[in-house]
Structure 1
Amino acid sequence: MESRLNFVAALFAVTPLMASAGDAPDAPASVVVVSATRAEHTSFDLPAAIDVVDADRIGAAQPRVNASEALAAVPGLVVQNRQNYAQDLQISSRGFGARSAFGVRGVRLIADGVPATMPDGQGQAATFDLDMAERIEVLRGPFSTLYGNHAGGVIQLFTRTPRGAPYVETKVAAGSDGMRKTDVNTGGKQGAIGWLLDGSRFETDGYRAHSAATRDQAYAKLTVDTSATGKLTITASGLRQDDTQDPLGVTWATYQRDPRAGEIDATDPQTPKRTLADRYDTRKSIHHQQIGLSWDGTFGADRLHVTVYGGNRSVIQYQSFSKGFQAPASHSGGVVDFDRNFHGFDANWLMVRPLGDGVLRTTLGLEAGKSSDARKGYENFVGTTFGVKGRLRRDEDDDVRNVDPYVQMEWERGPWVFTGGLRHSRVSFDVADHYLSNGNDSGSVDYRHTTPLLGALYKVTPTLNVYASAARGFETPTLNEVFYSGTGGGFNYHLGAATNTQLEAGAKAMVGRDVRVNAALFRVRTRDELVVDSSSGGRTSYRNASATLRQGLELSADADLHAGFSARVAATLLRAIYDEAFTGVAEGNRLPGVPRTSLFGELAWKDADGRLQAALETIASGEIHPDDANAAVPAPGYAIVNARVQANQALGVWRVREYARVNNVFDRTYVGSVIVGDSNKRYYEPAPGRNWVLGASVQYQF
């Protein structure tokens, strides 16, 4: 590791020389972002690691089903498609969130200002409407802590701003394993009113056995210019997945035998024996809908932003169990059934004032949210028939609330930019247990934490900025992580929050006119890390472990190679270990779910008019351990190559596009993701071999 860090130090040392070489422009081209400061700011002048994935990359010959399609190009971020639409994507940022067995935790998700992460820290990336996405901002490192609990990183999606003449568009796509998607959308702006409407259906038979899914999504956006300086935005969205099949993980032996196969249930009395997924008919149904309202107004140099939102999410999930399972009193059965209502708001005021010889920007804000679950659990068998709703085993109401005041200040003077921030978070869990035959698990627990941030950026030249930042962050257990204590116990109110200290140093440079380089060194030390205690049959309990240490490097480069060619490289080197031993885990063991290295590379070409485009992509990852003890076979490292081509035509009022994509061109066999800490050692979730997608869209503009 020391030699690698010496290499990084050398890179930082030569960057100023590189930036001053050649005929450099007066100022580097840079995109505008809002995630780091909650106000428009050029990313080049922020002391933070932040990347923007624009609409071109989101729709780069992709069906726009999973955020993993677009986010692979972001350093520091690992986004794995589990090939399991019942459990959502696996997303981690600098190692935060890697242990999540389903959904997203450790990383904050936001869409058009509305959180896709609940107050406890659990989020769902499937709610993102990628068809309407204009850009995705990915914030990492100390600055992300100003978003509070579970903000090891922030992924924020922004949909299109309605503008121009009305249009209507239809998109279709088809591909391997019975993949089909149809999308219809319309939008435009007339006078002070703009609108977007979108509806889509996605279907797949699934790459893995028992992994078919159907997803219906709808999205609407209405904007109203309330005055010359004020704007009202209303968004509404819905997602529906009925009986989405869950293929479960498999053992190493099963993966080697057949990556597409499910795990055989050795206790099945039938001949031939069925897989666990087939015998228990493991599946999940999700109905999610939400609405958000935001208002932005400017008052001279000052600005007020207010967002309020609310929604509902209902889930029924059928899980699997081992032979002869008769649920003990402390278990809740194999069917999860909950109905969740959630709501919240975020209001902040930005003030801009002269101070000394510089400018001071101060943001004062208050964020609050609440989710309320009416949760039941049932046995997933009746008699000898599995996969059906049986006796009631759980009945409770779960409430989680957060209240977070925050302040952020930025003072810019000459070549210096100084940033400071403070956020105080209170997260409360309340459980009212109505199923008392196994004892009363009612109770509550509060978590409180203050997250400070300091950062500084120095503009060495117009084409080189260097920066450093530091912060403290925290992660409470999610609601699902306090459900069980050990092997079969009830609620675990004794779980503590994990706290972390983050340090980052970086450089942002333009090399000549055509190359932009971002580099960041980071160090994260965490106390009371939450780790898997036991995981079996869909039930996972957690405990607080010792300290962990994550040290790494992120490097990205974008280059215009002329003659229509361009290139992008995004590389991450991450040493993530347990810094102290604890029961069954040695000091120096690698954190599960976190690859040591990851790489994205792309060589793209387009003609002068942009009518024809083509690209080759490389995605590579180091090996991944699935358990804390590092005793199981790690998922081997891999490298795959993808190819895409796209054509565009403008025919009067018509816009037509066609594309083709081949993923995993050389048909590599590899594990796409792992289920951390599974007690049955069914850790592995295989990825597809060679697969293809064909798509087309037609737009008519009135």
Structure 2
Amino acid sequence: MQNPSPRLAGCLALCGVAAAVPADERQELDPMVVTGSYSLSRSFDQPAAVDSVDRRQIAEGQLRINASEALSRVPGLVVQNRQNYAQDLQISSRGFGARAAFGVRGIKLLMDGIPASTPDGQGQAATFNLDVAERFEVLRGPAATLYGSNSGGVIQMFSRDGEGPPRIGAETVFGSDDLKRNHLYAEGGNAVGNAGFVLDASRLDTDGYRDHSAARRDQTFAKLNLKPDDDSRLALIFSSLEQDDTEDPLGQTWEGFDDDPRSVTANAVLFDTRKSIDHQQAGLNYERRFGDATLQVNAYAGQRSVLQFLAIPRTAVANRLGSGGVVDFDRDFHGSTLRWLQPVSGVPGELSLAFGIDYDWSRDDRRGFQNFSGDRLGVKGELRRDELDTATSLDPYVQANWMLGDWTLLAGLRHSNMEMEVDDHFLVNGDSSGSRRFEKNVPSLGVLYAFTPSLHGYISAARGFETPTQAEMAYAPGLVENFNFDLQAATSSQYEAGLKALIGRWARVNAALFEIRSDDEIVVAEATGGRTSFQNAGRTLRRGFELGIEAEFDERWSASLAYTRLSATYDSSFESGGEIIDKGNHLPGIPASTLFGELVWRPLQGIAMGWEGQYRSKVYVDDSNEAKPAPSYAVFNWRTQFEQVSGPWTFRQLIRVDNLFDRQYVGSVIVGDSNGRFYEAAPGRSWYAGATVEYDF
């Protein structure tokens, strides 16, 4: 492996152009956000770490395939593209969610205010459709706890409204590993601006960088936005995601990765590990003003079906413990939010109150089967699990936002409540039916002081609450077949201090120090034969620093930087799988340092060229810290986008090269894998090219 230090220095130098002398024309870099305060306000005025990623950053020169493209620029987040469409992205926020073996947990995912996370905290970032994204808002720290349990951070995507003259477009992208992506869209609004629509459909095909990692992904999106009158807004939204027989390359051992990063374990091919997903969701957002007050309502419902074939050996399921090697479930889900925003008159300053209640429900008709039948492997065999798992949350909350001279107070209280019910229909190995309720009052408080109009400082504190997911409760430790209803929710005390600075109209700087003390951290107890059980591990301690810089030097040059330093350790010893995990060990899956830098040059109208650099320090892969850590790396990307306009026609072309220096590195890790297959390789040098044609009516 190469020494990353020179490339880290290069990445820092790339962003060091922030010392350049600004030109006369600058762009405003203080975005308006709603995440955190529930009402539209400047991020600069919030006593919280909240960042916005705008449409240009999401789309310009990007493939718009994975949310990692947009979110890597946010400090505090670690977003790893696993190069595995069967398992989704890995996302952690200040260490929350780093242990997730699949999907996203510990972070609240929202799209247009509608949850992309289940009540127990499991989410899917693949449901984010970057083709229609207007912006992402990312909230970290104490203020995020007001979004309920499993809100170690909040990532919210907002789709754009249809507006302006109607237009249609078609796009095609192709590149390394036989990647092909075709995209069709239509959008627009009426002349008076009270109605609009967005229609979007795309298909992605790829052979994947690693062996046995081919995928096809179909996404659709439809939105109708209306203004019934001057005081109300309505949006109707539908989205879908379909993946059939997406190949799962699994993790690889260090020896296997080092010998051939494209390789997979033999069991991945032997059992033909794969996953199929069929997801549909519909929702509505309604907002109406009543004088100075505002009523906000959203409601949603959907269905998700998953069929997954794992590589659990036949001998591991012969003892009739575990749910076999095939996961098969159909999930129905629905929910709603009712929120009232009320300004308060007759008091000094500007005081606004938010009263709300969130209701979320999901039910999994879950079955497990052996992954063999006779001598045939990788097929659906004998039934091994049959149950209904129901998760319900009903959370009332209140929040106050008070601006008083140079001071701003943001305070809130939420009663977080989640119940998990299990109705076991497979009684051969005993009845695992039962229920467990988790509830806690979660307070949050933040205070901001404006030293000057362009320099703000804040402090904040909160109590957090993280319930176990259905997957974490599925098995109790030991040779018993039962749900782990004894698993406790993890709690945390979070503290944060930050500075926000605006340098004229050309630069924004955000910096934050934070500390998180957690009790009853949820960790692996045992992992054998495809059967993983979890336990509570006592105390953990996370301390860190975040720095974000956005700069628009002039109309031609811009740059950004996101740096995170995080120390995440166990603050007490505990036993796991018969092994003592010492106090002071590092939490696995969390790099100590991450850095993202970007420099963009727009020499002429219609041309944008960008350079990206990313560094990540080494990552421990298990609680003992004894297995080989994933080494540090630094990679660089280059992109150029061209645009031409001719009458009603617009043409765009894209050229992109990722991993310019062809670095071999581990892009993500599978924490605590019992087979020692912790490592997932990132691609070497990869190229992409695309073209778009659009017609405006």
1:125 paired residue number: 125
Cα separation, 1, equivalents of 2:149 and 2:312: 33
Which residue, out of 584, 588, 591, partners 1:588?
584
1:563, CA displacement in angstroms?
6.7
Task: With the length of structure 1 as denominator, give the TM-score of the two structures.
Answer: 0.94
SS in 2 for 1:580: coil
Contact 2:104 2:125 in 1 (8 A): yes
Contact 2:413 2:444 in 1 (8 A): yes
1:26, CA displacement in angstroms?
14
Cα separation, 2, equivalents of 1:324 and 1:495: 28
The 5 Å alignment of 1:104-503 reads 104-190=104-190, 191=192, 192-263=194-265, 275-322=266-313, 324-486=315-477, 488-489=479-480, 490-503=482-495
Cα separation, 2, equivalents of 1:348 and 1:292: 16
- 1:20-62 Cα offsets, whole Å, 9 max, x none, are x999999975110001111101001001101111111111322
Cα separation, 2, equivalents of 1:537 and 1:302: 57
Letter of the 1:467 counterpart: Y
Contact 2:27 2:505 in 1 (8 A): no
1:40 paired residue number: 40
Cα pair distance change 1:635/1:29, threshold 3 Å: closer
Cα separation, 2, equivalents of 1:149 and 1:607: 47
Q: Which stretches of structure 1, 4 residues or more, deviate above 4 A after TM superposition?
A: 21-29
SS in 1 for 2:574: coil
Cα separation, 1, equivalents of 2:593 and 2:412: 31
1:608, CA displacement in angstroms?
4.8
1:602 paired residue number: 598
Greater alpha carbon shift after TM alignment, 275-284 vs 480-489: 480-489
Contact 1:643 1:662 in 2 (8 A): yes
Contact 2:649 2:696 in 1 (8 A): yes
1:486, CA displacement in angstroms?
2.3
1:537, CA displacement in angstroms?
5.1
SS in 1 for 2:264: coil
RMSD of the alignment, in Å?
A: 1.8
1:547 paired residue number: 539
Letter of the 2:487 counterpart: L
The 5 Å alignment of 1:12-27 reads none
1:271 paired residue number: none
1:227, CA displacement in angstroms?
1.1
SS in 2 for 1:506: strand
- 1:653-701 Cα offsets, whole Å, 9 max, x none, are 1111111110000000100111011111111111111001111111101
Cα separation, 2, equivalents of 1:326 and 1:80: 32
Cα separation, 2, equivalents of 1:383 and 1:604: 59
SS in 1 for 2:471: helix
Which residue, out of 626, 633, 644, partners 2:628?
633
Greater alpha carbon shift after TM alignment, 406-415 vs 349-358: 349-358
Cα separation, 1, equivalents of 2:230 and 2:491: 45
Letter of the 1:385 counterpart: R
Q: Which runs of 5+ in 1 are unaligned?
A: 1-17, 264-274
2:551 paired residue number: 559
Letter of the 2:382 counterpart: R
In the alignment, does 2:91 pair up with 1:91? yes
Contact 1:23 1:513 in 2 (8 A): no
2:13 paired residue number: none
1:114, CA displacement in angstroms?
1.0
Letter of the 1:306 counterpart: V
1:516, CA displacement in angstroms?
1.5
1:531 paired residue number: 523
Cα separation, 2, equivalents of 1:608 and 1:408: 47
1:696 paired residue number: 691
Cα pair distance change 1:62/1:23, threshold 3 Å: closer
SS in 2 for 1:402: strand
Cα pair distance change 1:182/1:506, threshold 3 Å: same
Letter of the 2:515 counterpart: R
Cα separation, 2, equivalents of 1:397 and 1:69: 36
- 1:326-356 Cα offsets, whole Å, 9 max, x none, are 4322211110100010000001000012343
Letter of the 1:647 counterpart: F
2:654 paired residue number: 659
SS in 2 for 1:260: coil
Cα pair distance change 1:508/1:23, threshold 3 Å: farther
Cα separation, 2, equivalents of 1:399 and 1:558: 44
- 1:343-372 Cα offsets, whole Å, 9 max, x none, are 000010000123432111000000011101
Cα separation, 2, equivalents of 1:684 and 1:23: 46
SS in 1 for 2:339: strand
Contact 1:331 1:488 in 2 (8 A): no
1:535, CA displacement in angstroms?
3.0
1:161, CA displacement in angstroms?
1.3
Greater alpha carbon shift after TM alignment, 98-107 vs 350-359: 350-359
Contact 1:25 1:512 in 2 (8 A): no
Contact 2:511 2:545 in 1 (8 A): yes
2:619 paired residue number: 624
- 1:472-509 Cα offsets, whole Å, 9 max, x none, are 01110001110012255321010000000100000000
Contact 1:213 1:245 in 2 (8 A): yes
Contact 1:27 1:463 in 2 (8 A): no
Cα separation, 2, equivalents of 1:557 and 1:281: 45
Contact 1:23 1:512 in 2 (8 A): no
Cα separation, 2, equivalents of 1:400 and 1:649: 51
Greater alpha carbon shift after TM alignment, 577-586 vs 283-292: 577-586
Cα pair distance change 1:219/1:183, threshold 3 Å: same
Report the number of matched residues.
672
Cα pair distance change 1:290/1:26, threshold 3 Å: closer
1:193, CA displacement in angstroms?
2.2
Letter of the 2:142 counterpart: P
Greater alpha carbon shift after TM alignment, 643-652 vs 91-100: 643-652
Cα separation, 2, equivalents of 1:325 and 1:221: 47
2:12 paired residue number: none
2:5 paired residue number: none
Letter of the 1:532 counterpart: V
Cα pair distance change 1:355/1:498, threshold 3 Å: farther
- 1:94-129 Cα offsets, whole Å, 9 max, x none, are 000000000000111000111000001000000111
- 1:437-491 Cα offsets, whole Å, 9 max, x none, are 1000000000001110111001110110000110001110001110012255321
- 1:553-594 Cα offsets, whole Å, 9 max, x none, are 000112233471211111000000001111221111000000
Cα separation, 2, equivalents of 1:622 and 1:172: 35
Contact 1:335 1:389 in 2 (8 A): yes
Contact 2:456 2:501 in 1 (8 A): yes
Cα pair distance change 1:586/1:335, threshold 3 Å: same
Letter of the 2:560 counterpart: R
Greater alpha carbon shift after TM alignment, 479-488 vs 361-370: 479-488
